[in-house]
Amino acid sequence: MKPSSENYRSHDVVKQLRTDFYNKCYICEDYAPSTINVEHFIPHRGKNRDLMFDWNNLFYACGHCNNSKLAIYDNILNCTDNSHKILDWIQFNINPYPKEKVIIQSSIVDIKVQNTVELLLKVYNGEHTGLKTVEGENIRERLIDEMVKFTKRLTKYSKPTITSEDKERYRKKIREMLSVKSPFTAFKVWVIKSNPYLLREFASFLPQ
Ligand SMILES: [Zn+2]
């Protein structure tokens, strides 16, 4: 429901966006970011009041991503549009080791897809300014922590000696980590999609 306030940065608007976007930046998928921007998916350029106040044009972004996107990337895939199959069209990868960079690729020839890949590489790996380099490193550190945790659970789950109770317990934890509510879901989904055994086990948990 669109809050009545005309101010798109008012507390009720930001609170509602936080709920709608599961408190995750819609670009980098960092959870509970410390700086939040109400982003206009299609830039209003200070003139278009319809775009400025259209609820469907307001997105929840961290300061780092909002600042990296600016008005340059105004033609990217929309994560709230079900016809944009982002997790099918774009591969998200990172090795769960210290200081690794993300690998984002797509074989689809489409301007929106290519722009999205470029923006994602910029927010995670970009070194365009000193500040952005450090912000990207901080996000990747949280991403790697999450991937290490995820890998550990998958490994435990797959042990041939695990008891059926423990297996069920790990299955639940893995399900939670694949939910759109958890941070960096795209990277975890691609771990599952890239491994035939894991895909057989967890295909039903993948977000649609
Ligand atoms: Zn972000």
Whether residue 25 lies inside any domain: the answer is yes
Rounded to the nearest angstrom, the distance between the alpha carbon of 201 and the centre of ligand 1 is: 30
Q: 62 in the Ramachandran plot: left (φ > 0), alpha (ψ -120 to 50) or beta?
A: beta
Predicted confidence at residue 152, as pLDDT, reads 98
Whether residue 117 lies inside any domain: the answer is no
Cβ neighbours, 10 Å, residue 198: 16
Whether residue 168 lies inside any domain: the answer is no
Under 8 Å CB-to-CB from 17, ≥6 apart: which residues? 38, 58, 59, 60
Predicted confidence at residue 49, as pLDDT, reads 82
Rounded to the nearest angstrom, the distance between the alpha carbon of 48 and the centre of ligand 1 is: 25
Domain extent for 11: 1-74
Q: How many domains does the chain have?
A: 1
> Residue 28 maps to which CATH number?
1.10.30
Rounded to the nearest angstrom, the distance between the alpha carbon of 153 and the centre of ligand 1 is: 25
Whether residue 36 lies inside any domain: the answer is yes
Rounded to the nearest angstrom, the distance between the alpha carbon of 81 and the centre of ligand 1 is: 19
Whether residue 79 lies inside any domain: the answer is no
Cβ neighbours, 10 Å, residue 115: 16
Rounded to the nearest angstrom, the distance between the alpha carbon of 123 and the centre of ligand 1 is: 7
Rounded to the nearest angstrom, the distance between the alpha carbon of 140 and the centre of ligand 1 is: 11
Whether residue 133 lies inside any domain: the answer is no
Whether residue 50 lies inside any domain: the answer is yes
Rounded to the nearest angstrom, the distance between the alpha carbon of 168 and the centre of ligand 1 is: 33
Predicted confidence at residue 6, as pLDDT, reads 57
Rounded to the nearest angstrom, the distance between the alpha carbon of 119 and the centre of ligand 1 is: 11
Q: Is the dihedral of CA 74, 79, 195, 172 positive or negative?
A: positive
Compute mean pLDDT per 10 residues along the chain, 208 residues long, and list them.
60 93 98 94 83 90 94 90 95 96 96 97 92 95 98 98 97 98 98 98 93
Whether residue 54 lies inside any domain: the answer is yes
Could you give the CA distance from residue 200 to residue 119 in angstroms, rounded to a whole number? Answer: 32
Tens digits of residue pLDDT in 97-131: 999 999 999 999 999 999 999 999 999 998 888 99
Q: With beta carbons less than 8 A apart as the criterion, state whether 114 and 101 touch.
A: no
